[in-house]
Amino acid sequence: MFDAPGFTGAPLDRCDAARHDPALVAAMRADPEARLLALDGLEPLVEDGRLGWLPVPQEDGVALALLGRSEGRPRFAALTPGVSAYKRSPELMALLLDELPAGDAALYGVARSLIDWHARHGFCAQCGHATEVLRAGWARACPACGAQHFPRVDPVVIMIAEHDGRALLGRQPGFPPGRYSALAGFVEPGESIEEAVARELNEEAGITVEAIRYVASQPWPFPAQLMIACTATARDDALRIDTHELEDAFWASRDEVRAALAGAPDARFQPPPAYAIAHLLVRRWAG
């Protein structure tokens, strides 16, 4: 059972000062102790239940991002063009759940999001010219217009609405059979977290909420969301489900949620996976 959200707790000194010093980055790359994250596309190669690492290539032309320093060693990731972090295999999710330590999963998440951003942002959003890697992989610069671009993080609210001792849970059509989870949606421009929670619950389930409370957050590297978990109190329990967003939704009692979390054979639904912040949110509500 996860005591903290998945993809958090990376044992990593991000070495921000080094990102501004090309000579220092070059020295870290040349360090015999430096290591390169072993990947097959964007899938991690695992050795003895841990992330695999390789010697850092020294030849020119291999674009690398400095992840930082971990366990006393500089850590790098290769910036591979043409990959996408949107899709994730069932094998990867099983690996994250059953094998990788939490710190390794978090470090992998940093690399995955960063590699994906570079693969999708090779051209300047201001003038369209090809961009170049900058700041040890934590930015891109346009040599034509001088614009600098930085890895983006997209905020997403994920929330449980409460009413009369019950929690609102829903399922999307793409979920595995029987799975229900907290409702979620992207924060829109010019919107606070609280406003996004209220809007999404109203749009997807037709309810009005108040007393919105922050619970926890989680980076989600598929490709680069920041999940912001909240709870809220619904004024009533009448649902009006947006079938474009949700396949179904219902109010679950604490006993029903606890049975699902315990894996009871007669549970009404399957809970979200343990590495997802939705699981932590549901479990904390049930407790």
Q: DSSP letter at 256?
A: H
Assess whether pLDDT exceeds 50 at residue 100: yes
Residues 6 or more apart whose Cβ sits within 8 Å of residue 244: none
| Cα 189 to Cα 63: distance, rounded to the nearest angstrom | 33
Percentage of residues of the chain with pLDDT beyond 70: 99
| Cα 283 to Cα 70: distance, rounded to the nearest angstrom | 31
Decide which of 41 and 126 is more confident.
Answer: 126
Domain ranges of the chain: 16-120, 154-286
Q: CB neighbours (10 Å) of residue 203?
A: 14
**Global confidence as pTM:** 0.93
pLDDT tens across 231-250, in order?
A: 999 999 999 999 999 999 99
Q: Which of 160, 161, 163, 130 is nearest to 145 (CA)?
A: 130
Using a 10 angstrom Cβ sphere, with 0-12 exposed, 13-18 middle and 19 or more buried, the burial of residue 235 is exposed
**What is the model's pLDDT at position 145?**
98
Decide which of 97 and 174 is more confident.
Answer: 174
Which CATH superfamily hosts domain 154-286? Answer: Nucleoside Triphosphate Pyrophosphohydrolase (3.90.79.10)
